[in-house]
Amino acid sequence: MQYKRILLKLSGEALMGKRQYGIDPDRLDEYAQEIKQVTSKGVQEAIVIGGGNIFRGVSGASRGMDRVQGDHMGMLATVINGLALQSALEDNDIPTRLQSAIKINEVAEPFIRRRAIRHLEKGRVVIFGGGTGNPYFTTDSAAVLRAIEINADVILKGTRVDGIYSSDPEKSDSATKFDYISFDEVIKKGLKVMDTTAFTLSQENELPIIVFDMNTKGNLLKVISGENIGTKVNL
């Protein structure tokens, strides 16, 4: 395997499947099977999921809600998604732990770095919920932060698009895909990979990012095996 310890970032919207909102059990099971393929190869895997399928703090604030309150609601949404994914993984016989950045001890462990690393070393998938535990920070930022803390080899950002393009491939026929691109080029070209805080943190810590299509069966294993899937962002 190309990577021994990874952090997989999934958007909350990815869990909707073909639904307009909420969680699609079939999509959850598909993801669980993809993750099982990877863990069966001995790869240590941590996961961060967004909460946009349930609630997004920024959109709540745009409609007059207090931003801090909205972000706290978004954090809880990520815990709900984490519980759903944990259930799907355990249904597929994958040992899993859910850790939360906000105290919710009845349903999730508190985030403790050393404990998270120990779980990974024992072959458990660790899901990080609750974002960073602070308002004004996205789950992209949480993903990069946790990846650095657990000494992950790479961040894998699973999306519905098969990589990074020069423009939106769903809107422009002339969009061209990058196989490899540097952090500096992404900034220069104004490409939207992650939010600025997350992207800068990843660059400063020399942590590569691979953006790939999570919805194509077998892609996760191909990425970890080193196949040229998606787009790799590196120094």
Extended beta strands in 123-221, E state: 125-129, 154-159, 164-165, 177-178, 180-182, 209-213
Domain of residue 230, CATH code: 3.40.1160.10
Query: What's the pLDDT tens digit per position in 100-111?
Result: 999 999 999 999
Angle of the 113-121 helix axis to the 139-149 helix axis, nearest 10: 70
pLDDT at 60: 62
Q: For residue 215, give Cα distances in angstroms to 111, 117, 125.
A: 29, 28, 20
pLDDT at 161: 87
Give residue for tokens 């990843």.
202
How many Å is the Cα radius of gyration of the chain? 17
Q: For residue 174, give Cα distances in angstroms to 169, 181, 197, 233.
A: 8, 18, 29, 21
pTM: 0.94
Q: Taking a C-beta distance cutoff of 8 angstroms, is the pair 23, 62 a contact?
A: no
Q: Mean pLDDT lowest for which of 3-7, 53-57, 92-96, 100-104?
A: 53-57
Alpha carbon 148 to its chain centroid, in Å, reads 14
Query: What's the pLDDT tens digit per position in 141-164?
Result: 999 999 999 999 999 999 988 999
Across the range 130-143, mean pLDDT stands at 96
As a whole number of angstroms, the distance between CA 134 and CA 40 comes to 34
Q: Which residues pair with 98 in a beta bridge?
A: 127
Domain count, the chain: 1
Q: What is the domain extent for residue 11?
A: 5-234
